[in-house]
Every structure is written in structure tokens, then in C-alpha cells.
Structure 1
Amino acid sequence: MRALRRAGAALWAAWSFLTILPPACPRPPGDEEPSAALAFFPLVGAVVGALAGGAVLLASRFAPPPLVAVVAVGAPLALTGALHFDGLLDASDGAFAPRTPERRREIMRDSRVGSFAVVTGVLVLLAFYACALSLTPLRLALALIVAGAAGRAAAVLAVVRYPYGREHGAGRDLHGRAAWPAVAMGLVLALAAAALGSWRGIAALLAALAAGAALAELVARRLGGTLTGDAYGFCEQFAELAALLAFVVR
């Protein structure tokens, strides 16, 4: 029973952290390790993808494909409060600035949007839109589920592979004694979601993990061997895009 309460508290924490939707129940009591929530990041991502996929299927009954693609791009952003996309923008501005690692981390905390963020954000949104427009509504709905889980799985791996680069921040609590066991469970859940797409889903998960790992290493080198919450969002968005591309390529 205690294990179930801890799992419920971890799922509650993951849902509250990753989405703007109110949890279906009050927070369960318990003194769970905050990093245990990592286990359920891929599951929450799959649910966000499923909700976005439902919106896509509904829109496809009334709207032309270009508008359906807009729904596919916009629904996950709306459901998550653009959490990961905001990290993508901040990390793009800071990590690739011609400055020292310390100055880059300071730039990432600046709320103003610079040219790196604008260019990266526009290109990523266009890539998401192009992928969505290339798939049938049913296939797109499935791809959103797999990509949602795969992107969060890649972010979870980035969390545990690199030290946190700030004294304070939303991502610091994710670094705890429960992190690696939570990662193992999260990868199992991501694999279960990927299996919905058969071999294409598995390929999408592998593509997402590879893209996330490569970009996490790139950003970490720019930030002096550390990552921050913004960097997690950067990795998640590109990993999600890699998963969608796996559904598009022939």
C-alpha cells in the first residue's frame, strides 16, 4: 500500500509539473522523493499526445489538412503551457551565444527573446507542422502519442546524465536518490507507448533517444558540463521532432 501511495504521489507530481491541466484527484499524502516523478514523465507525455491526437481526429472531421496540422502543433503546446518550447527558446539563446559558460547560463535566465531563439523556434515549429501535414489523421494521432512519450524519455535521460547547472531551479529537485530507478521505469513506460506504433514506434523511440543524447551532450559542453531545466526542454523538443520524423520517412 505504501508503494502504491508513493507511485500515486510521483504520478501526481509529474502530471502537475508537465501540464497545465488540474490533476484528477488531490495530492496523495506521503514523503516521496521528488526525483521519483521522473518515472512517469513518459506516461504523462503519452497522455498529452493522446489528448492532442484526439483533437486531431476531431478536427479532421471538419477542417482541411493544413488546419489539422496546426491543431497537431498547437494542442501539445496548449496542454503543457509551452513548458518545453519555452526551454527550447531560452537554451537556444544562451547555449549558442559566443560567451563563457557562466554568461550563457545567465542569458538563459533572461526573459527576453533573442535572435537564436526566434530562428530556432520558427524552424522547429515549421518542422513539426511539416511532419503533421505529411501524415494521415489516424497515423498522426498515433505518432503524437509515441513522440510525447519518447520526448520525455529523452529529457529524463538528460536529467540523470549531467549535473544541474544552477543552485536553484525547477530541475534541481529531480536530481535525487530515486532518479536512476525512476529512469528505468520511465524507459519501460516509453517502450510500452512506442510499441503502439509497432516497429515504426520503436524506431521513433530510438531516434528520439539518440537525438536527445546527442543534443544534451552538445548543450552540456556549451554550459561547462552541466544542464539546466531549459536544456531539458531543448532536448525534449528535438527528441519529439526526431520521433515524428521517424513516422514520416519512408
Structure 2
Amino acid sequence: MALSALRGALGFLSRLPVGHSETAWDAFTATPAAFPLAGYVVGALVAIPFLAAGVLPAPVVAGAYLAAVVVVTGVNHADGLADLGDAAVVHGDPAERREVMRDTTVGVGAVLTLGTVLLGLGLGALAVARLPLLTAVAVVLAAEVGAKLAMATLACLGTPSHEGFGSTMLDGNEATDLVVPLLAAGPSALLAFPATAVASVASVAVAVSLNRWADRRLGGVGGDVFGAANELARVVALHAAVATWALTDWGVLAWTP
């Protein structure tokens, strides 16, 4: 069951050619812990460019990381973020905002949101590329696991806004079901303590904040909110980890201006 759920999670969260069977999908939707477990696989893949940190210039490593994120994870989650950006700038009730999210037209809110997050991710990656090699890899891995933990948090705490992917993921889950995803993400939080621990906490904070916003503005959580949580939590986790590393005693000694 766990292995099937992991395959299903990878099939949804990445472009890897696995987990596209109905059995894997059903196992995934019933197992919130599959989110952070898949994050370890995705995180290990997108962290590969940072193995060249110190050999290649930091901007080159950061650029390769951005490319790896797109190649490994695709654009589905970014599309959710764009839709959420459009909904955020609409003046109206939850139903009107959800209608905007279904519109295929890309608005100013989508462009601004995507641009800001992409810029933040690039700057975060540039800062991570200047960390010691093993620390950089650990931070990127923890940020990716944290991004998936944010989605698991929504799956356990959220209420569906309408029928769709969101309601499928939320069906049957309760707040107590978050314990297992938290435990699954725990090892990543210890890789470069305390930086990676702060990254994990920041990811959950993003999910909790986004869940509250979605309840007020959208009437609950839908598929686009899940995608946005992934993208927002990743960039926030990267910056939180780098800031923590820089502010600790050993981080100050290791940091090179």
C-alpha cells in the first residue's frame, strides 16, 4: 500500500514515468504521508545541480536548479499558483473568485504572482549555491519535502471548496492524520539543523496561512490551492533555511559575502 501510494504521488507530483495506474492513484489519495515521501525523491533530483556548487559559478548552479524544477515537476503546480493569483485580485464572493480560476485567460494577478515567486526561487537558489556543498543539498532537499508537506497539511486540515482534486484529497482525512506526514518529513528537518528545521516549520506555516485564506476567499481548498501551496512553500522554505544558516554562529562563519 505504501509503495503504491508513493508511486501515485510521484505520478502526480513529478513527470517521472511511474504511478499512473488507478491503483496507485487511489492509494495516493488515501495516504497524505505519500506527499513528503515523494518529496525526498523529487528533492534529490532537483538538488543535483548543487553538487557543482563551488566548481561552477553560483548563478549557473541556480539556473540549472530552476531548469531541474521545471523538468522534474512540470508546470501543473505553477498553473495552480497562477490561477490563485488571478483569484486573489478579484473583488467578489468565493463563487466569483472560483469562476476566475477556471478561466483560461491569464490575468495580471497570475503574471505578478508567478513572476514574484520565480524571482524569489531564483534568488533563493543563488543564495543556497553559496552554502557549503552538503548543506546546500540538504536545504534543497528539505525545501522540496517541505513543499510536499505543505500539500499534506492542506489534505489534513482543509475543507473542499467544490468537487474535484481538492475534495478527493480531503475526503476522509482529519487533523490527526497530519501526524504521519510530519513524522515522514522529520528526517529532512534534521539534515542541516537548524536551517532545515526552520524550512520545515516555514512550509507548514505557509500551508496553514493559505488554508485560512482559501476558506475566507474561495470557500475552501481546491486543486489550485494545493498547487500554489507547493510553489509558495518551496520558495519560503529556501529563504527561511538560508536566513537561519546565516544567522547562526556556524552559519556566519561559513557564509561567504
Scaled to the shorter chain, the TM-score interval is: 0.7 to 0.9
Q: Greater relative contact order: 1 or 2 (C-alpha under 8 angstroms, separation 6 or more)?
A: 1
User: Residue 147 of structure 1: CA displacement?
Assistant: 0.5
One of 220, 241, 246 as aligned partner of 1:247: 241
The 2-side partners of 1:34 and 1:49 are apart by 18
RMSD between superposed Cα atoms in Å = 2.4
Matches within 5 A, 1:50-65: 50-58=44-52, 61=55, 63-65=56-58
- The reply to whether residue 141 of structure 1 matches residue 137 of structure 2 is yes
- Is residue 165–residue 223 contact of structure 2 (8 Å, CA) maintained in 1? yes
For residue 180 of structure 2, what is the aligned residue in structure 1? 185
Structure 1 residues 164 and 26 mapped into 2: Cα distance closer, same or farther (>3 Å)?
A: closer
Number of the residue aligned with 2:42:
48
Q: What do residues 109-156 of structure 1 show as CA deviations (whole Å, max 9, x unaligned)? A: 122211001011111111111111112262332211000111111121
- TM-score (normalised: structure 2): 0.84
TM-score (norm 1): 0.86
2:84 is matched with 91
Q: How is 1:1-250 mapped onto 2 (pairs within 5 angstroms)?
A: 6-23=1-18, 34-58=28-52, 61=55, 63-135=56-128, 136=130, 138=133, 139-167=135-163, 169-177=164-172, 183-224=178-219, 226-249=220-243, 250=247
Letter in structure 2 aligned against 1:39: A
Partner Cα separation in structure 1 for residue 162 and residue 30 of structure 2: 20
Deviation at 1:20, TM superposition (A): 0.9
Instruction: For 1:193 and 1:228, locate their aligned partners in 2 and report how far apart those are by CA, in whole Å.
Output: 27
Unaligned runs of 5+ in 2: 248-257
Q: CA deviation at 1:22?
A: 1.1
Distance in 2, Cα, partners of 1:47 & 1:26: 17
Displacement of 1:242 in angstroms is: 1.8
Separation (CA, whole Å) in 1 of partners of 2:177 and 2:17: 23
Describe the superposition over 1:28-80 as per-residue Cα deviations: whole angstroms up to 9, x where unpaired.
Answer: 9689555323211111112211111113324764x422121112223122211
Q: Count the aligned residue pairs.
A: 241
Q: Are the counterparts in 2 of residues 84 and 232 from structure 1 also a CA contact under 8 Å?
A: yes
Using the alignment, how far apart are the partners of 1:93 and 1:214 within structure 2? 18
SS in 2 for 1:171: helix
The Cα shift of 1:81 comes to 1.0
The whole-number CA distance in structure 2 between the counterparts of 1:187 and 1:72 is 26
Counterpart of 1:3 in structure 2 is none
Equivalent residues of 1:88, 1:117 under 8 A apart = yes
Q: What is the SS of the residue equivalent to 1:38?
A: coil
Query: Bigger shift: 50-59 or 39-48?
Result: 50-59
Worse-superposed segment, 118-127 or 77-86: 77-86
* Percent of residue pairs identical: 32
Relative distance call for 1:28 and 1:66 in structure 2 (3 A) is same
Cα deviation, residue 203, structure 1? 1.3
Q: Deviations over 1:216-248 (max 9, x none)?
A: 212321112x11110112222222222111222
